[in-house]
Structure 1
Amino acid sequence: MSAPETELGTRSDTSRAVAFSDAIFAIIITLLVLDLRVPDVPPGRLLSGLLSQWPAYVAYLASYSYVAVVWLNHKAAFNRIQQTDRGLHWMNLLVLFTTALLPFPTIVVSHALQEHDNADQRVAIAFYALIGAWLCATWLAFYHYLARHPDLLKEQVKHEFFRVERIRALAGVLLYALAGVLGYLVTPLVGLAIFLLLPAFYAVTSAGLYQFRVTRRISHRPPPPSG
């Protein structure tokens, strides 16, 4: 069997992978909001009931932001991919699998913080950090696969782009692990603060760390002399 015939059953364009992924992201976002409920309080206590649910709002914000930057990173990655093969499909499914887990630790953290049990709060923060680190690890595998298969990328994409992206993913693994350790050993609020800050970093660099560095170099370049 010739090489083109061999690749016919394993390679395709990215349209189906992107459409399937976007559908999964939409479902995950929807599931996150299900933990926001009308408080069960007597008449006249609605305001205090809503305010007492602040952990649910913070957990929702952290996870919504995380899913949002995952989608932005996913979009940026697939904008640079020309074709997908069986291995890349599995890498993508692995990213989606761990992203789909986020609603569960979100609910765990929300409920633990509202119950005011310090031991449970520490466990909940560590559990969320574990899922967050795992998700970053799947991105590390995704980027590593693309770095090893530059033939799947569009011609204008620099081969080192996804090699550099592995640094962002590895940083996420380490920082979520740090959040889990500090949240468990020191105070849950430290871990929660890191959970809120990490999506901001990934949002700023959503086009890619390599592209971010290139853009910064261009912006700091002195203008050409006039005349």
Structure 2
Amino acid sequence: MAFSDAIFAIIITLLVLDLRVPDVPPGRLLSGLLNQWPSYVAYLASYSYVAVVWLNHKAAFNRIQQVDRGLHWVNLFVLFSTALLPFPTIVVSDALQEHNNTDQRVAVAFYALIGALLCATWLAFYHYLARNPDLLKEQVKDGFFRVERVRALTGVVLYVLAGMVGYLVAPLIGLAIFLVLPIFYAITSAGLYQLRVTRRITHRPPPPR
């Protein structure tokens, strides 16, 4: 866990390196800062995504009792795909600031490809835990990680959809989907199974008096 947390910290640090002081003449600092809005949007999307990945990572390992070689490998794949995020973030930021529609479409599609790859590695991670329940703590419900695979597969589908919409229709629509997806994963960070249980308890009628 300490190794994984260190990787997440480095990734977040790399994201902020794309935020630079604009190279503008004296007296034009405000307009220069405002013109860099794509950098801020791309940073927000990727920072939110990394933060949610970290939350999901912590939630998953809180349910794991022991780790074997296979789990180490799938965890490394998750970290590998997460570490790629700073690159497409810079690509999207630069493309939006250059105002070239073709490059913007390619950049959004590229970001979507990396996002889909990250969700695919989470799918492998959850699938491995679903197939190896002996690695989990005793109090973890049967089928918890089988249900979690739905979350990961949803991410794959939605990132592919965002990439197609961003490339074929409008890059900004794809970018908007990138901003919404971390919200979904933040809400469900405790797991779809846990969310379903919480809703059932919330809507349970009060006992008769």
State the TM-score bracket (shorter-chain normalisation): over 0.9
Of 46, 62, 78, which residue of structure 2 is paired with 1:63?
46
**Residues 1:95 and 2:78 are matched in the alignment:** yes
Considering only CA atoms, is the larger Rg found in Structure 1 or Structure 2? Answer: 1
Letter in 2 for 1:105: P
Of 77, 92, 102, which residue of structure 2 is paired with 1:119?
102
What pairs with 1:124-139 in structure 2 (closer than 5 Å)? Answer: 124-139=107-122
Of 32, 46, 61, which residue of structure 2 is paired with 1:49?
32
Query: For residues 86 and 219 of structure 1, what CA distance do their matches in structure 2 show?
Result: 40
**How many residues in Structure 1 have an aligned counterpart in Structure 2?**
209
Cross-structure match for 2:206? 223
Q: Which consecutive residues of structure 2, in runs of 5 or more, have no partner in the other structure? A: none
SS in 2 for 1:207: coil
Shift of 1:140: 0.2
Cross-structure match for 1:152? 135
CA RMSD of aligned residues (A): 0.5
Query: For residues 156 and 16 of structure 2, what CA distance do their matches in structure 1 show?
Result: 26
Letter in 2 for 1:74: H
- The alignment's TM-score, normalised by the length of structure 2, stands at 0.99
Shift of 1:71: 0.2
Q: Which consecutive residues of structure 1, in runs of 5 or more, have no partner in the other structure? A: 1-17
Q: State the 4+ residue runs in structure 1 displaced beyond 4 angstroms.
A: none
- Deviation string, structure 1 residues 3-59 (Cα, Å, up to 9, x no partner): xxxxxxxxxxxxxxx110000000000000000000011111111000000000000
Shift of 1:210: 0.7
Of 61, 66, 72, which residue of structure 2 is paired with 1:83?
66
Letter in 2 for 1:123: V
- The alignment's TM-score, normalised by the length of structure 1, stands at 0.92
Identical columns (%): 86
SS in 2 for 1:70: helix
Cross-structure match for 2:91? 108
Of 143, 164, 178, which residue of structure 1 is paired with 2:126?
143
